[in-house]
């Protein structure tokens, strides 16, 4: 990361002092990062540096840019190119032949989409990369060939498939391609039969903007749509969950802008909705409720540099085992980061190993996990320390 920061700084003709001033961070932070004496930084700092250097945060942290593990069924290889071609087919620009095969039935499309949910919850990006391009092509063919209710149902499947493509591309640092996928998703939603998908799309788009470093845009669209759909506390749990997810998306963007009062207020509202629900509900493969609100609280406390409170908050999360593996892994990574900031490296390494148990493939693509493992490896007192083995399994260079 330090080498990438230094390279971009020099290409832009900035001194370390100039970069620090433009990013609003200390010169010491810039110097230590560039010299490799510091290998990680808070997400707010990374976003500020990326903005000052006119790049994406994913570039600074060296996020993987392609699928790394061919774990797809039938020996299929996941392919970024195939996913790009499915999202942006040349026929949309220049015209071309329609799919010669008979499109699948709506029931078959919906079953295919449901089958991806477990894969997504477990963070198996390789399988998503292999299966998703064909699902998008099939749903497009059904939407084009169908009429009336069948076409609308196909468009709804296509809208969700595009959103899965957007999150997958974002995980690979392809935020611009992810934005294109979201444009396609919103267009399909307008022709679909499920108006709630618009809320899901805004949530996903907010996340894409957050990963691009467009934090103000991410916060604005999430809050704007949350205001539009704001439910009453007697509303169905599904509506409360969708609203709560938007509030947490907005809070994620706000915490990276260091707007801590805004984060506290949004989390309070989200927790109120979660308490009204009483239990977590999975809406389009995204959980929300008391457990996920507790997970979010840990994340925000870590980002606000309150590691003691984050560790305590982790202990109070109800029913953590009910969450999907990737959500459990995320909160273990946050817990590890809190322990690392407290100088408790053994506890941090243990939390990271628990995260690996839950979602080993997901960790290979998760930038915070990679940065933290790298930092702990460099501080490890022994070459056979568990974190060194974890570093090797994540493919981090020594």
- pLDDT at residue 98 in the model: 58
On whether residue 179 sits in a domain, the answer given is yes
Listed residues 65, 100, 120: the one ending a domain: 65
On whether residue 374 sits in a domain, the answer given is yes
Beta bridge partners of 286: 283
Q: Do 227 and 292 fall into the same domain? A: yes
Residues 375 and 396: their CA atoms lie apart, in Å, by 11
On whether residue 204 sits in a domain, the answer given is no
Q: Do 100 and 133 fall into the same domain? A: yes
On whether residue 118 sits in a domain, the answer given is yes
Q: Do 108 and 138 fall into the same domain? A: yes
Q: Do 115 and 162 fall into the same domain? A: yes
Please state, in angstroms and as integers, the Cα–Cα distance from residue 367 to each residue in 59, 139, 179, 385, following that order: 10, 32, 20, 21
On whether residue 90 sits in a domain, the answer given is yes
Q: Do 139 and 29 fall into the same domain? A: no
The mean of the pLDDT values for the chain is 91
Model pLDDT for residues 334-391, shown as the tens digit of each residue:
999 999 999 999 999 999 999 999 999 999 999 899 989 989 998 888 887 899 999 9
Residues 13 and 111: their CA atoms lie apart, in Å, by 54
- pLDDT at residue 66 in the model: 82
- pLDDT at residue 397 in the model: 66
- Give the strand pairing for 286-288 and 281-283: antiparallel
Residue 285 has pLDDT above 90, yes or no: no
Residue keyed to tokens 């997901």: 362
Residues 262 and 316: their CA atoms lie apart, in Å, by 23
- Domain region containing 23: 1-65
Phi and psi at residue 149, in whole multiples of 5°? -65, -35
Q: What percent of the chain has pLDDT over 90?
A: 72
- pLDDT at residue 387 in the model: 93
Q: Do 114 and 174 fall into the same domain? A: yes
Q: Do 224 and 146 fall into the same domain? A: no
Instruction: Give the pLDDT mean for 40-60.
Output: 85
- pLDDT at residue 97 in the model: 57
Q: Do 44 and 87 fall into the same domain? A: no
On whether residue 316 sits in a domain, the answer given is yes
Q: Do 182 and 95 fall into the same domain? A: yes
Listed residues 22, 50, 65: the one ending a domain: 65
Listed residues 49, 65, 81: the one ending a domain: 65
Which CATH number covers residue 38? 1.10.260.40
Instruction: Give the pLDDT mean for 90-99.
Output: 69
Model pLDDT for residues 303-314, shown as the tens digit of each residue:
999 999 999 999
Q: Do 185 and 155 fall into the same domain? A: yes
Q: Do 309 and 363 fall into the same domain? A: no
- pLDDT at residue 37 in the model: 79
Beta bridge partners of 282: 287
> Taking a C-beta distance cutoff of 8 angstroms, is the pair 127, 71 a contact?
yes
pTM tops 0.85: yes
On whether residue 199 sits in a domain, the answer given is no
State the SS3 of 188-203. Answer: HHHHCCCCCHHHHHHH
Q: Give the pLDDT band of residue 232 (cuts 50, 70, 90).
A: confident
Model pLDDT for residues 117-134, shown as the tens digit of each residue:
889 888 998 899 999 999
Residue keyed to tokens 């090797």: 392
- pLDDT at residue 70 in the model: 52
On whether residue 208 sits in a domain, the answer given is no
Q: Give the pLDDT band of residue 76 (cuts 50, 70, 90).
A: low
How many independent structural domains does the chain possess? 4
Residues 63 and 213: their CA atoms lie apart, in Å, by 14
Residues 208 and 206: their CA atoms lie apart, in Å, by 5
Which CATH number covers residue 291? 1.25.40
Q: Do 11 and 119 fall into the same domain? A: no
């Amino acid at each position: 990361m330090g080498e990438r920061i230094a390279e971009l700084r020099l290409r832009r003709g900035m001194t370390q002092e100039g970069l620090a001033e433009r990013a609003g961070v200390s010169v010491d932070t810039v110097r230590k990062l560039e010299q490799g004496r510091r290998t990680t930084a808070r997400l707010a700092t990374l976003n500020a540096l990326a903005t000052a250097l006119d790049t994406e945060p994913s570039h600074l942290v060296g996020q993987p840019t392609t699928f790394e593990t061919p774990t797809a069924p039938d020996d299929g290889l996941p392919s970024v190119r195939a996913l790009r071609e499915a999202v942006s087919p040349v026929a949309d620009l220049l015209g071309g032949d329609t799919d010669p095969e008979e499109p699948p039935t709506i029931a078959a499309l919906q079953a295919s989409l449901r089958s991806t949910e477990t894969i997504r919850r477990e963070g198996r990006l390789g399988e998503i990369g292999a299966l998703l391009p064909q699902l998008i092509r099939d749903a497009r063919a059904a939407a084009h060939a169908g009429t009336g209710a069948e076409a609308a149902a196909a468009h709804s499947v296509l809208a969700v498939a595009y959103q899965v493509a957007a999150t997958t591309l974002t995980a690979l640092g392809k935020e611009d391609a992810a934005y294109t996928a979201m444009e396609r998703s919103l267009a399909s939603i307008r022709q679909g039969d499920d108006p709630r998908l618009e809320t899901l799309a805004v949530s996903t788009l907010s996340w894409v903007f957050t990963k691009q470093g467009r934090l103000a845009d991410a916060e604005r669209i999430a809050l704007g749509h949350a205001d539009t759909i704001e439910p009453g506390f007697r509303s169905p749990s599904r509506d409360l969950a969708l609203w709560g997810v938007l509030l947490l998306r907005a809070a994620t963007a706000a915490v990276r802008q260091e707007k801590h009062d805004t984060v506290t207020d949004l989390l309070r509202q989200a927790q109120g909705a979660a308490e009204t629900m009483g239990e977590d509900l999975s809406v389009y493969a995204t959980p929300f409720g008391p457990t996920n609100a507790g997970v979010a609280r840990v994340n925000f406390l870590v980002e606000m540099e309150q590691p003691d409170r984050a560790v305590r908050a982790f202990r109070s999360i109800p029913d953590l085992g009910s969450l999907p593996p990737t959500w459990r892994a995320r909160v273990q990574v946050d817990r590890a980061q809190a322990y690392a900031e407290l100088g408790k490296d053994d506890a941090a390494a243990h939390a990271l190993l628990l995260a690996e148990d839950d979602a080993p493939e997901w960790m290979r693509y998760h930038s915070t996990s990679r940065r933290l493992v790298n930092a702990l490896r460099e501080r490890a007192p022994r070459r056979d320390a568990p974190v060194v083995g974890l570093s090797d399994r994540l493919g981090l260079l020594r």
